[in-house]
Amino acid sequence: MTTIEAVREYLLENGNLGAVDDLTDDVPLIEREVLDSLGLLAFVEYLEVTYDVEIDDALLVRDNFETVAQVARFVDRLRAGAP
């Protein structure tokens, strides 16, 4: 399973999808409230455990968590050793 597929699957199972008809790669996760503050913390923990990465507080910015595609790119960068 690719990173983007795993991210989407996690959000489909754990996100608040009430305002989202279809969780495409470019749905704004925070703006559409798929992730709230507590959901984001749980999501970060999932990413850290699943991908064996460390996400410092400084990396908890909207640009890294705006969409499914951005989260997947962010995780792939971390796995490659780049923040």
- The closest alpha carbon to 51, from 83, 9, 81, 79, belongs to 79
Domains, the chain, ordered by start? 3-79 (1.10.1200.10)
Residue 17 pLDDT exceeds 80: no
- CA-CA-CA-CA torsion for 71, 31, 18, 26, nearest 10 degrees? -40
Q: Measure the CA–CA gap between 82 and 22, rounded to whole angstroms.
A: 31
| pLDDT above 90: residue 69 | yes
Give pLDDT tens digits for 24-63: 999 999 988 899 889 999 999 999 999 999 999 999 999 9
Q: Taking the complete model, does pTM exceed 0.85, yes or no?
A: yes
Instruction: Name the token pair of 45.
Output: 């923990």
Cα–Cα distances in Å, from 42 out to 9, 21, 39, 49?
A: 14, 23, 5, 11
